[in-house]
A and B are shown apart, each in its own frame.
Chain A
Amino acid sequence: MNPKTKTFFSHAGVHTVLLIYTFIALFPTLLIVMNSLKARLSIFGAPLEPPLPSTFDLVGYQTVFSSAHFEQYFLNSLIVTIISLVLILGFGAMASFALAEYDFQTNPLLGIYLAIGIMVPIRLGTVSLLKMMVALGINNTLFALILVYVASGIPLAVFVLTAFFKTIPKELKDAGRIDGASEYRVFWLVLPLVRPALGTVAIFNMIPVWNDLWFPLILAPLESTKTVILGAEVFLGQFISDWNAVLAALTLAVLPILVLYIIFSRQLIRGLTQGAVK
C-alpha cells in the first residue's frame, strides 16, 4: 500500500474484515464437505469437528453410487458443457470476426440484434422452446440442452470477442491477404491472438451451463439425460432423511466446479476485472 495513504481502516482492521468475510464465504462449503466424510453419529454429535480416523465413514458415497447413476450424470454434464462451449466459442468467434472486420451495411444493426440476448433471459421463451423441441423430436436429449445453451451463450461471446478482434492490428491481416490467404485463412491466422478473450468467454459460459437446473428439468428430465445438478436435485429430494447420502451428493455436485475454479480462477478474475462486461 502507498505509505502516504491514510485509510479509515488500519492494516490490521482491513485484514480482520477480509478474514471474517472469507470465513463466511467458505464456511458452508467446508461444513458440507467435512461432514460428508463422517459417520452419522458424529455428523449430528459434533458437526463442527473435522473427520477424525475414529469418525471417518464413506457410507454416504456408497449410498449415492449404489442408488443413483452419478457417473452417468457427470458424463451428461460433461458432454453438454464441453460441446456447448466449443460451439459458442467457434460460432461466436466467426461472427465476431465478421462484425469486427467487415464494413457491411447491416453491421451495426446486427451487432445490436445479437446484443439483445445479453440482457433478456432465455428462460422467458421456455414454453415455446419446449414445444419446438417436442416438435423436432429432440426433447429429452442432451442435444436440446446444447442448442439452448449455445443460443444463449452467443450474445455475450460476440460482444466480448468483437471488442477483442477490433484491437488486432490491420497490418497482420493484410500481410496474410497479400500473401494470397483467403478470408477464412486470415480468420484462422488471427484466432490465436484472441486466445485470452476466448478463455474468458469459455469460463463465463462454463459456470452457468454446468450449474443450470431450469432447462435440464424442463427439456431433459429423463434418467438417461439428467445432468449432475438435476440428478443431485432429484436425489436430494428422495434421500432427504439420509444425511450421509445427502452430504455426499452435495459434495459430489460441488467438487468438479470447485476444481475447475481453482484451476481457472486467475483467468476468470482477470476477465471480470479487465472489463469484459463493460
Chain B
Amino acid sequence: MTSMRKLNRKFPVHILVFLFPAVLIYTVFMIYPMIDSLRLSLFSSDAKNVVHWVGLENYRELLTDPTLSNRLWGALKNNLIFFVIHMCVQNPVGLLLAYLLSLKIRGSVVYRTLIFTPTVLSVVIVGFAWKLILSPLWGISSHIPLLNLMNLGVENSALITLSLISVWQYVGIPMMLFLASIIRIPEEFLEAARVDGANAWTIFWKIQFPLLLPTAGIVGVLTFVGNFNAFDLVYSAQGALAGPSFSTDLLGTFFYRTFFGFQLQGGNPYLGSAVAGIMLLIILVGVLIYLFGFQRRIENVEL
C-alpha cells in the first residue's frame, strides 16, 4: 500500500534504479545480439567486402547448396538421434535413480551427491577424459565389457558413444528434478492406495507417475534445448570437423564451422547467422510445443 501511494505521489525513480542495470545488460548483450543475428542472416558480403541485403538468400543457400545442405541435414539428423538417445536413456535412468533414492534408504544423500558429480564437470574435460578411456592406445576399454563396444573412431558407433557420454554426464539433472517431485507427493495418496492393497508397482504407475508428468515435461524441454545447443562435447572429443567423416556433427559444431571457419575454409558470419536462425527456430518450436501442447494438457493432474 505504501508503495502504491508513493507511486501516485511522484515519479518512481527508485523502481527505474532497481531495474536499470539488469534490464540494460540483458537487453544489450542478450536480446539485441539475438535480434541482430537474425538481421545479419539477411545480409551477405561480396568479394570486395561490401555488405548488402540478400533477403532469405542465405537460408536458400543452406537448404539447396549441395555441400551445405548435406551438412545441415546431416547435423540435424545427428542432433535428432542425440536427442532421442537422451530421452530414451538419460531420462528413464534419471527417473529410476530418483525413485530408488526416494525410498529413503540409508546413505541416500551420499549416493545422490556422488551420482550428481559428473554434472558439475566441464564438458570439455569429460569429453577428453572419455576419449582417453576409450582409446585403444590405453586399452582400458578392453578390460571392461560393454566399454569395448563404444568407439569414437568408427563412423557407426561414434555418435551413439558421444550421446552416451553426454547421458552419463547429465543424468544427475533429471534425477534431481524427478526426486524433488516424488518427495513432494503427499504420503496420504500412497497410504490410501496401500490400504486398498495396491503394490509398489501399481502405486508407481497409477499414482506417482501421473503426478510426475509436469516434471517429465520440464525435463523434456530442458533436454531438448540443451541437446540442440550442444557443442563442447563434440568439439573437445572429435574436433570442429566432428569426425569420423562428420558422423558426430551437431548443429552447434556446424554453426561454429560455418561462422568461424575451419582449416583452410574461411568463416562466413552471415551464413553463420542463418544457421543460428535455423537453430533458434528449432528451439522455439520445441519450447512452444511444450508450452502449448504438453503443459496445458497436463494441468489438470497437477497437484
B229 contacts A26, CB within 8 Å? no
Instruction: Report A-chain residues with C-beta under 8 Å of the C-beta of B232.
Output: 213-214
* Interface residues, chain A, with chain B CB atoms under 8 Å away: 1-2, 4-9, 11, 14-15, 17-18, 21-22, 24-26, 28-29, 31-32, 43-44, 47-48, 87, 90-92, 94-95, 97-99, 101-104, 110, 113-114, 116-117, 119-132, 147-148, 150-152, 154-155, 158, 174, 177, 182-184, 187, 207, 210-211, 213-214, 218, 229, 232-233, 236, 243, 246-247, 250, 253-254, 257-258, 261, 265, 268-269, 272-275, 277-278
With both beta carbons as reference points, the residue of chain B lying nearest to A107 in the complex is identified as: B15
Given A44-B138, A128-B273, A253-B122, check contact A1 B105 (CB 8 Å). yes
Is B189 interfacial (CB-CB < 8 Å)? no
Given A47-B140, A94-B22, A124-B280, check contact A269 B269 (CB 8 Å). no
Instruction: Report A-chain residues with C-beta under 8 Å of the C-beta of B2.
Output: 174, 177
Given A114-B23, A269-B176, check contact A213 B280 (CB 8 Å). no
Complex CA gap A184/B133 in Å reads: 55
Main secondary structure of the interface of A (DSSP, over half): helix
A211 contacts B121, CB within 8 Å? yes
B122 contacts A4, CB within 8 Å? no
A–B complex contacts, Cβ < 8 Å, 25 sampled? A1-B104, A7-B103, A18-B108, A28-B118, A44-B139, A48-B140, A94-B18, A103-B7, A104-B7, A110-B23, A114-B23, A122-B34, A124-B34, A125-B30, A125-B32, A127-B37, A129-B33, A132-B33, A154-B26, A187-B18, A213-B123, A213-B231, A254-B122, A257-B121, A257-B122
A277 contacts B7, CB within 8 Å? no
A4 contacts B115, CB within 8 Å? no
Is B3 interfacial (CB-CB < 8 Å)? yes
With both beta carbons as reference points, the residue of chain B lying nearest to A104 in the complex is identified as: B15
Instruction: Report A-chain residues with C-beta under 8 Å of the C-beta of B260.
Output: 218
Instruction: Report B-chain residues with C-beta under 8 Å of the C-beta of A232.
Output: 124-125, 128
CB distance from B118 to the nearest CB of A (A): 6
Instruction: Report B-chain residues with C-beta under 8 Å of the C-beta of A48.
Output: 140, 143
B133 contacts A91, CB within 8 Å? no
B120 contacts A207, CB within 8 Å? yes
B29 contacts A148, CB within 8 Å? yes
Q: Which 4 A-B pairs have the closest CB atoms?
A: A125-B33, A151-B29, A98-B18, A95-B22
CB distance from A22 to the nearest CB of B (A): 5
B218 contacts A277, CB within 8 Å? yes
Complex CA gap A148/B133 in Å reads: 34
CB distance from A141 to the nearest CB of B (A): 14
Complex CA gap A113/B37 in Å reads: 18
Instruction: Report B-chain residues with C-beta under 8 Å of the C-beta of A47.
Output: 138-140
B122 contacts A273, CB within 8 Å? no
* Interface residues, chain B, with chain A CB atoms under 8 Å away: 1-4, 7, 12, 14-15, 17-19, 21-23, 25-26, 28-34, 36-37, 40, 96-97, 100-101, 103-105, 107-108, 111-118, 120-126, 128-130, 132-133, 138-140, 143, 168, 173, 176-177, 179-180, 183-184, 194, 199-201, 214-215, 218, 221-222, 225, 229, 231-232, 235-236, 252, 259-260, 269, 272-273, 276, 279-280, 283-284, 287
With both beta carbons as reference points, the residue of chain B lying nearest to A125 in the complex is identified as: B33
With both beta carbons as reference points, the residue of chain A lying nearest to B232 in the complex is identified as: A213
With both beta carbons as reference points, the residue of chain A lying nearest to B116 in the complex is identified as: A269
Complex CA gap A277/B114 in Å reads: 21
Instruction: Report A-chain residues with C-beta under 8 Å of the C-beta of B120.
Output: 207, 211, 257-258, 261, 268
Instruction: Report B-chain residues with C-beta under 8 Å of the C-beta of A122.
Output: 30, 33-34
B200 contacts A5, CB within 8 Å? yes
B283 contacts A110, CB within 8 Å? no
CB distance from A249 to the nearest CB of B (A): 9
Instruction: Report A-chain residues with C-beta under 8 Å of the C-beta of B3.
Output: 101-103, 183
A8 contacts B133, CB within 8 Å? no
A26 contacts B280, CB within 8 Å? no
Which of B19, B22, B28, B125 meets A254, CB within 8 Å? B125
Instruction: Report A-chain residues with C-beta under 8 Å of the C-beta of B113.
Output: 265, 269
Instruction: Report A-chain residues with C-beta under 8 Å of the C-beta of B7.
Output: 102-104
Query: Besides the contacts A120-B34, A213-B235, what 13 more A-B pairs have beta carbons closer than 8 Å?
Result: A6-B199, A18-B111, A44-B139, A113-B31, A125-B37, A128-B273, A131-B40, A150-B25, A183-B3, A210-B122, A243-B138, A253-B122, A278-B215
CB distance from A41 to the nearest CB of B (A): 13
Complex CA gap A120/B130 in Å reads: 29
Complex CA gap A87/B21 in Å reads: 9
Instruction: Report B-chain residues with C-beta under 8 Å of the C-beta of A32.
Output: 129, 132
Instruction: Report A-chain residues with C-beta under 8 Å of the C-beta of B124.
Output: 211, 213, 229, 232-233, 253
